[in-house]
């Protein structure tokens, strides 16, 4: 058990890294300007939690079974950047999807084909070959980390069968509407969600997939039923490789010239590289700086780190051309 909430620990570690970082700077002085830009942009697009459900591949009328869909989604929600200009692509119902949407499309395509991918009793023994078929690409670029994805699902499926009666609903019901209780539960029971990294002799908690699992349940159920969390505002942003790009664009993050050159060259960083940890942790702290700036501007604001993450991620995906000159950091990892 953890002495403080895991998200509070993530935020504390993020602030510590931001204070020590050598390669990345959180531009706290840019908070108010970035807040104004985001509030204006969100008002223009009428951005709200409903945007989660409005994405065409996300579930529209969630049931109890949708919890198992969400668990598989965020068990596999990692590493969808492509190593070449050919992007890993999933064709589904007459459309082509890349990036995160290739994951969602692959899951939905498998279910359409009668493959019970979201059923723990099935994926507890899923083979690498089955996973390769589920993640088959319509381009020349294959899906990354297929064997690792299969291993993650097998491990989680076995745990779900042995401890929780083969249903994620049994996990949710133990957490009594607390985002932090669910977060701790997932991290304690499912090792692949235990996302932390070494930094200057200590372990830094980041927890991208565990926190986004809770947030996706909140978004999917629109804060009702299984998605009613009294403490959803306690979550931090989800440190991936797309939101940092939006934070650099917004002026909240700055990279040293050396780091920028490394990223522009397309160099793949090792998982746990000091520069990677700084980008991820500083992104978490930058979103907290942004959240506080929004509260200053609008004291009655309901913006939390989850909504800011959702907004920044959508912004980065829909403004690809404007952000093309800003490099993403490339790491192959099961954590994001």
How many Å apart are CA 294 and CA 35, to the nearest integer?
A: 5
- How many Cα atoms are found within 13 Å in the side-chain-facing hemisphere of 198? 6
How many Å apart are CA 124 and CA 113, to the nearest integer?
A: 19
In the block, which residue shows the tokens 């993020």?
14
- The count of other CB atoms within 10 Å of the CB of residue 269 is 19
How many Å apart are CA 257 and CA 265, to the nearest integer?
A: 12
Task: Give the contacts of 331 (CB within 8 A, at least 6 positions apart).
Answer: 79, 241, 268, 269, 270, 271, 273, 276
How many Å apart are CA 85 and CA 324, to the nearest integer?
A: 13
Is 240 among the catalytic positions? Answer: yes
Burial of 319 (0-12, 13-18, 19+ CB in 10 A): middle
CA distances from 247 to 38, 149, 288, 299, 308 (A): 11, 29, 12, 22, 11
Buried b (16+ CB within 10 A) or exposed e, 55-66: eebbbeebeeeb
Catalytic site residue from 195, 240, 309, 314: 240
How many Å apart are CA 197 and CA 274, to the nearest integer?
A: 9
Q: Give the H/E segment covering residue 246.
A: helix 243-249
Residues noted as catalytic: 240
């Amino acid at each position: 058990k953890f002495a403080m909430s895991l998200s509070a620990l993530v935020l504390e570690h993020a602030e510590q890294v931001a204070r020590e970082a050598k390669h990345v700077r959180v531009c706290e002085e840019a908070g108010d300007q970035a807040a104004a830009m985001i509030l204006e942009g969100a008002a223009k697009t009428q951005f709200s939690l409903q945007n989660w459900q409005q994405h065409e591949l996300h579930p529209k009328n969630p049931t109890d079974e949708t919890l198992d869909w969400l668990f598989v989604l965020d068990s596999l929600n990692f590493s969808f950047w492509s190593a070449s200009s050919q992007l890993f692509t999933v064709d589904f119902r007459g459309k082509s999807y890349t990036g995160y949407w290739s994951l969602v499309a692959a899951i939905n395509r498998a279910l359409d084909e009668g493959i019970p991918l979201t059923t723990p009793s099935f994926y507890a023994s899923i083979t690498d070959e089955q996973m390769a078929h589920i993640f088959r690409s319509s381009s020349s670029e294959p899906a990354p980390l297929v064997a690792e994805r299969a291993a993650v699902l097998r491990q989680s499926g076995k745990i779900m069968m042995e401890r929780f009666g083969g249903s994620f609903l049994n996990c949710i019901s133990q957490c009594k509407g607390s985002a932090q209780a669910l977060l701790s539960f997932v991290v304690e029971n499912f090792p692949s969600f235990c996302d932390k990294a070494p930094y200057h002799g200590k372990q830094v908690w980041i927890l991208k997939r565990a926190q986004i699992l809770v947030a996706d349940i909140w978004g999917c159920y629109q804060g009702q039923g299984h998605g009613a969390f009294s403490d959803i505002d306690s979550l931090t942003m989800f440190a991936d490789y797309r939101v940092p790009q939006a934070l650099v664009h917004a002026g909240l993050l700055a990279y040293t010239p050396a780091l920028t050159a490394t990223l522009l060259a397309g160099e793949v960083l090792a998982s746990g590289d000091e520069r990677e940890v700084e980008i991820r942790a500083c992104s978490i702290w930058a979103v907290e700086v942004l959240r506080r700036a929004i509260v200053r501007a609008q004291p009655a604001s309901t913006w939390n780190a989850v909504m800011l993450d959702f907004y920044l991620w959508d912004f980065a995906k829909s403004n690809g051309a404007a952000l093309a000159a800003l490099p993403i950091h490339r790491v192959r990892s099961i954590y994001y």
